[in-house]
Amino acid sequence: MKGTDKRTGEVFGNYELQDVIGRGGMGVVFRAKDVVTGAVVAVKLMAPDLAHNDTFRERFIREAQAGPKLNHPNIVRVFETGEAGGELFIAMQLIEGVDLKGLIEQQSPLDPKRVLSIFRQAADALDAAHESGLVHRDVKPQNILVIPRPNDQELDQVFLTDFGLVRPMTSETSASRTGQVFGSVAYMAPEIIEGIPADGRADVYALGCVLYECLTGSIPFERDNEVSAVWAHIHENPPAVTDARPDLPGGLNDVVIKAMQKHPDDRFLTCGEIVSEFEVGLGRKRGRMTYSHARPLIARIPHRKTEREVWSPNFFPELSRVRWASRERFDWRKAAALVVAVLTLSGVQVGREGGLPQAVADVADAAGVVVPSIIRVLNPEEDESSEPSRVAGTGPTAALGGKRGTGSSATGGRNEVTQGQAQIANNPGATAEPGKQHTDLISFSNYVDGDWEIFVVGTDGSGLKQLTDNAVDDWGAAWSPDGQFLVFARGQTGDPTTRGTSDLYTMRWDGSDVRRLTSGEERDTDPSWSSTGKIAFARDFRVFVIDPDGSNLFLLNESGFNPDWSSDSRRIVYLKPFSPGGTQFIWTVRSDGSQASRLTDPDNERDEHHPAWAPDGKTIAFVVNKDPTAPAPVAFLEDWIVVSDMAGVTTDLVPGGEPDWSPDGRWILFDDDGTLKAIRPDGTGLRVIYESGFGWARSPAWRPRING
- Looking at residue 59, its pLDDT comes to 64
For residue 4, being part of any structural domain is answered with no
**Does residue 60 sit in the same domain as residue 114?**
no
User: How many DSSP H helices and E strands does the chain contain?
Assistant: 18, 35
Which range among 16-20, 155-159, 213-217 has the greatest average pLDDT? 213-217
Domain count, the chain: 4
For residue 26, being part of any structural domain is answered with yes
Answer whether residue 5 shows pLDDT above 80: no
More confident residue, 532 or 197: 532
Residue 356 Cα distances to 172, 193, 470, 478, angstroms:
18, 9, 62, 47
**Does residue 102 sit in the same domain as residue 240?**
yes
Query: What would the mean pLDDT of 568-583 be, rounded to a whole number?
Result: 76
Number of CB atoms found within 10 A of residue 550's CB? 27
**Does residue 277 sit in the same domain as residue 321?**
no
Burial class of residue 8, CB neighbours in 10 A (0-12, 13-18, 19+): middle
- Looking at residue 69, its pLDDT comes to 62
**Does residue 319 sit in the same domain as residue 444?**
no
- Collapse the DSSP code of 293 into the 3-class scheme (helix H, G, I; strand E, B; otherwise coil) and give the result: coil
Confidence of residue 604 (pLDDT cuts 50, 70, 90): low
- CA 144, distance to chain mean position in Å, is 20
- Domain end marker among 349, 378, 407: 378
- As a whole number of angstroms, the distance between CA 619 and CA 612 comes to 9
Query: What would the mean pLDDT of 87-101 be, rounded to a whole number?
Result: 89
Buried b (16+ CB within 10 A) or exposed e, 262-271: bbbebbbbbb
For residue 359, being part of any structural domain is answered with yes
More confident residue, 495 or 603: 603
| Contact of 628 with 583, CB cutoff 8 Å | yes
CATH code, domain carrying 243: 1.10.510.10
For residue 418, being part of any structural domain is answered with yes
The DSSP element (H or E) to which 396 belongs, if any, is helix 396-400
Range of the domain at 536: 396-702
For residue 590, being part of any structural domain is answered with yes
Answer whether residue 364 shows pLDDT above 70: no
**Does residue 85 sit in the same domain as residue 103?**
no
**Residue 539, by phi and psi: left (phi above 0), alpha (psi -120 to 50) or beta?**
beta
**Does residue 607 sit in the same domain as residue 689?**
yes
For residue 2, being part of any structural domain is answered with no
**Does residue 172 sit in the same domain as residue 271?**
yes
- Domain end marker among 60, 92, 124: 92
Query: Who contacts 209 (Cβ-Cβ below 8 Å, separation ≥6)?
Result: 140, 186, 187, 219, 220, 260
**Does residue 87 sit in the same domain as residue 105?**
no
Query: What would the mean pLDDT of 282-288 be, rounded to a whole number?
Result: 54
**Does residue 274 sit in the same domain as residue 416?**
no
CATH code, domain carrying 436: 2.120.10.30
- Collapse the DSSP code of 668 into the 3-class scheme (helix H, G, I; strand E, B; otherwise coil) and give the result: strand
Burial class of residue 579, CB neighbours in 10 A (0-12, 13-18, 19+): exposed
Least confident of 92-101, 210-219, 624-633: 624-633
- Looking at residue 360, its pLDDT comes to 43
- As a whole number of angstroms, the distance between CA 605 and CA 618 comes to 23
Query: Who contacts 275 (Cβ-Cβ below 8 Å, separation ≥6)?
Result: 116, 119, 120, 123, 592
**Does residue 118 sit in the same domain as residue 204?**
yes
**Does residue 448 sit in the same domain as residue 513?**
yes
Residues 99, 124, 127, 138: which is the catalytic one? 138
- As a whole number of angstroms, the distance between CA 314 and CA 374 comes to 18
**Does residue 315 sit in the same domain as residue 288?**
no
For residue 384, being part of any structural domain is answered with no
Query: What would the mean pLDDT of 500-524 be, rounded to a whole number?
Result: 90
Give the DSSP letter string of 346-383.
TT--TTSTTHHHHHHHHTHHHHHHHHHHHHHHH-TT--
Answer whether residue 315 shows pLDDT above 50: no
Least confident of 106-120, 296-310, 449-463, 586-600: 296-310
Strand partners, 80: 91
Per-residue H/E/C for 674-703: CEEEEECCCCCCCEEEEECCCCCEEEEEEC
CATH code, domain carrying 84: 3.30.200.20
Rg (CA), the chain: 28
Apex CA 154: angle with CA 151 and CA 156, to 5°? 95
**Residue 659, by phi and psi: left (phi above 0), alpha (psi -120 to 50) or beta?**
beta
Answer whether residue 204 shows pLDDT above 80: yes
- As a whole number of angstroms, the distance between CA 692 and CA 494 comes to 18
For residue 6, being part of any structural domain is answered with no
Question: For 368-396, how does the pLDDT look when each residue is reduced to its tens digit (9 = 90+)?
Answer: 444 444 444 444 443 433 333 323 334 45
Single pTM value for the model: 0.45
- Domain end marker among 232, 264, 295: 295
Query: What would the mean pLDDT of 587-595 be, rounded to a whole number?
Result: 87
Least confident of 261-275, 396-410, 428-442, 682-696: 396-410
Let me know if 671 is a catalytic residue: no
Least confident of 92-101, 110-119, 699-708: 699-708
Strand partners, 491: 473, 502
